[in-house]
């Protein structure tokens, strides 16, 4: 069911400062910020060739990243994203096995313009998992 690792997401309190560290200190290719109001975040992707790192900053008062940063003020790993061929089939299979899909269970359009779902971290070794249709 799982395809390749699409990205590892890191929540940061200051997207511009984190972007500078990745670009200037680590020499990474850093994309322009992208606001995703439906998800309550502004993101920057760092292309690593075989995968990406996604930096997340809160956007708006109800951002889920704001709550994460309250608990982790310096930031930290927020989630991992795996690709799947058919997100609805993956959702149905996971739900049938007892995994919890967050939200209303219906995919939303993610930062790459593709359907995404999030899975409860308590079902996956304490890690929030995002699935993205390949």
Question: Could you tell me which residues come within 8 angstroms of residue 33 by beta carbon, excluding any fewer than 6 positions away?
Answer: 15, 19, 42, 43, 44
Of these residues, 54, 57, 130, 132, which one is catalytic? 130
Query: What DSSP letter does each residue of the chain carry, written as one string?
Result: -EEEEEEEEEE-S-HHHHHHIIIIIT--EEPPPEEETTTTEEEEEEE-SSSEEEEEEE-STT-HHHHHHHHSTT-EEEEEEEEES-HHHHHHHHHHTTPPBSTTSS-EE-TTSSEEEEE-GGGTTT-EEEEEE-
As a whole number of angstroms, the distance between CA 134 and CA 116 comes to 10
Whether 130 is catalytic is yes
Q: Active-site residues: which are they?
A: 130
């Amino acid at each position: 069911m799982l395809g390749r690792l699409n990205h590892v997401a890191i929540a940061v309190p200051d997207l511009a400062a984190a972007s500078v560290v990745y670009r200037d200190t680590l020499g990474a290719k850093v994309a322009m910020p992208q606001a995703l109001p439906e998800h309550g975040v502004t993101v920057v992707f760092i292309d690593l060739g075989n995968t990406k790192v996604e930096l997340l900053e809160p956007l708006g008062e109800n951002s889920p990243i704001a709550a994460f940063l309250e608990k982790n003020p310096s930031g930290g790993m927020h989630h991992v994203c795996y690709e799947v061929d058919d997100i609805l089939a993956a959702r149905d299979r996971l739900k049938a096995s007892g995994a919890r899909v967050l939200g209303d269970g219906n995919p939303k359009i993610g930062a790459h313009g593709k359907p995404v779902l999030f899975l409860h971290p308590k079902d996956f070794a304490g890690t929030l998992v995002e699935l993205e249709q390949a």
